[in-house]
């Protein structure tokens, strides 16, 4: 039997990224669950006094729920580690690998895991070589059926599914709104799954996959965070064999990137049953419509017990 340890926990939420509102919702949900588990929880929006306050007040553990660059690129984690502050989530090096979608795809591909064919285009290259010529090469290499997204970022902001070559220019503009580098992937048709990987000190374990079926056909920002825009199936409506293979890929990616405590690995399974890696999220959304809470509940766990286990593990490291 695990002995309960009541902790003093600071949950960070808000920040200044494009995903501030999502972060606030995630932070509130995490704080509520940790309080339900019996911990003392302070919900705080980061500001210039944050590091000094954390050093002076010395909480047992910090839970960053900061989506976007302010929480996911590894900078915050590096500062917390430098101050000797324990925190839930991945170390800065691993955070940086997952934050850069092209980097994660390179590492995953080298490990023999399938990932859609892709290319990256910095905004400067797009301007310098001329939009028409560059787009022609994109169509030649990737095809008209593509997914265009910022090379860094989350919550599907700036992501466009392109099915017609005429829509590609606008998709590039949308991606560049959120990042100076665009990632263009070949579109894979299949069943989209999100797999939560959790490790509370006993090794990473994949929770039941959540199947995503957006009503619009596109899992956009609106489809993610507006109730009723997407139908979710937890566990996913796939065979046991496919579910096991997808879970194995998720755990392999989690370990390959060096992620810690919790991650969400997004994949798509094609008609032949091939599991294609899409991206890794080292600080996944934890809102009322997010995928991780659904996976936790599908595993027969409560948010309070799952989040508490992660916080206890982080405090003990």
Q: What is the pLDDT of residues 27-78, one digit of tens each?
A: 999 999 999 999 999 999 999 999 999 999 999 999 999 988 778 899 999 9
- Cα torsion 73, 206, 182, 227 to 10°: value is -100
Q: Give the model's pLDDT for residue 135.
A: 83
> Are residue 155 and residue 252 in the same domain, yes or no?
no
156 inside domain:
yes
Q: Which of 17, 70, 155, 200 is catalytic?
A: 155
- Output the known binding site for Mg(2+): 266, 279, 281
70 is catalytic: no
Q: Which of 266, 279, 300 is nearest to 149 (CA)?
A: 279
128 is catalytic: no
- Taking the C-alpha atoms of residue 287 and residue 73, their distance in angstroms, rounded to an integer, is 20
Contact by Cβ (8 Å): 178, 193: no
- The domain in which residue 106 lies consists of 96-115+188-316
> Are residue 108 and residue 241 in the same domain, yes or no?
yes
Q: Give the model's pLDDT for residue 158.
A: 84
26 inside domain:
yes
**What are the counts of helices (DSSP H) followed by strands (DSSP E) for the chain?**
13, 13
Overall number of domains in the chain? 3
Q: Give the model's pLDDT for residue 155.
A: 55
pLDDT digits over 78-127, tens only? 999 999 999 999 999 999 999 999 999 999 999 999 999 999 999 888 77
> Are residue 160 and residue 178 in the same domain, yes or no?
yes
Q: Which of 23, 26, 290, 308 is catalytic?
A: 290
> Are residue 67 and residue 210 in the same domain, yes or no?
no
Residue 45, classified by CB atoms within 10 Å of its CB into exposed (0-12), middle (13-18) or buried (19+), is: middle
> Are residue 42 and residue 104 in the same domain, yes or no?
no
- Taking the C-alpha atoms of residue 283 and residue 68, their distance in angstroms, rounded to an integer, is 9
> Are residue 153 and residue 209 in the same domain, yes or no?
no
49 is catalytic: no
> Are residue 101 and residue 207 in the same domain, yes or no?
yes
- Output the known binding site: 266, 279, 281
2 inside domain:
no
3 inside domain:
no
> Are residue 216 and residue 101 in the same domain, yes or no?
yes
Q: Which of 19, 185, 192, 211 is catalytic?
A: 19
> Are residue 48 and residue 19 in the same domain, yes or no?
yes
Q: What is the mean pLDDT of the chain?
A: 91
pLDDT > 50? residue 293: yes
Residue 78, classified by CB atoms within 10 Å of its CB into exposed (0-12), middle (13-18) or buried (19+), is: middle
């Amino acid at each position: 039997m695990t002995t309960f340890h009541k902790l003093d926990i600071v949950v960070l939420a808000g920040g200044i990224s494009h995903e501030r509102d999502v972060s606030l919702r995630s932070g509130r949900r995490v704080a509520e669950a940790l309080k339900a588990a019996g911990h003392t929880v302070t919900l705080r929006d980061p500001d210039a006094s944050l590091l000094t306050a954390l050093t002076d007040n010395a909480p047992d553990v910090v839970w960053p729920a900061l989506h976007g660059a302010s929480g996911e690129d590894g900078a915050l984690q590096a500062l917390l580690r430098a101050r000797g502050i324990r925190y839930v989530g991945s170390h800065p090096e691993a955070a940086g690998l997952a934050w850069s979608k092209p980097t994660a795809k390179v590492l995953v591909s080298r490990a023999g895991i399938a990932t859609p064919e892709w290319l990256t285009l910095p905004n400067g290259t797009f301007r310098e070589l001329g939009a028409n010529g560059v787009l022609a090469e994109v169509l030649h290499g990737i095809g008209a059926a593509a997914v265009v997204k910022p090379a860094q970022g989350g919550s599907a902001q700036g992501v466009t599914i392109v099915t017609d070559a005429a829509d590609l220019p606008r998709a590039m503009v949308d991606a560049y709104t959120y990042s100076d580098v665009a990632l263009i992937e070949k579109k894979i048709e299949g069943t989209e799954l999100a797999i939560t990987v959790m490790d509370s000190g006993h090794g990473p374990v994949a929770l039941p996959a959540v199947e995503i079926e957006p009503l619009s056909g596109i899992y956009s920002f609106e489809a993610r965070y507006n109730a009723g825009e997407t139908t979710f199936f937890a566990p996913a409506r796939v065979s046991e064999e496919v579910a096991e293979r997808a879970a194995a890929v998720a755990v392999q990616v989690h370990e390959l990137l060096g992620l810690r405590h919790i991650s969400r690995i997004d994949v798509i399974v094609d008609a032949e049953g091939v599991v294609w890696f899409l991206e890794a999220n080292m600080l996944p959304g934890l809102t009322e419509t997010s995928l991780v809470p659904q996976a936790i509940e599908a595993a027969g766990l409560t948010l309070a017990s799952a989040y508490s286990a992660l916080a206890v593990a982080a405090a003990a490291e």
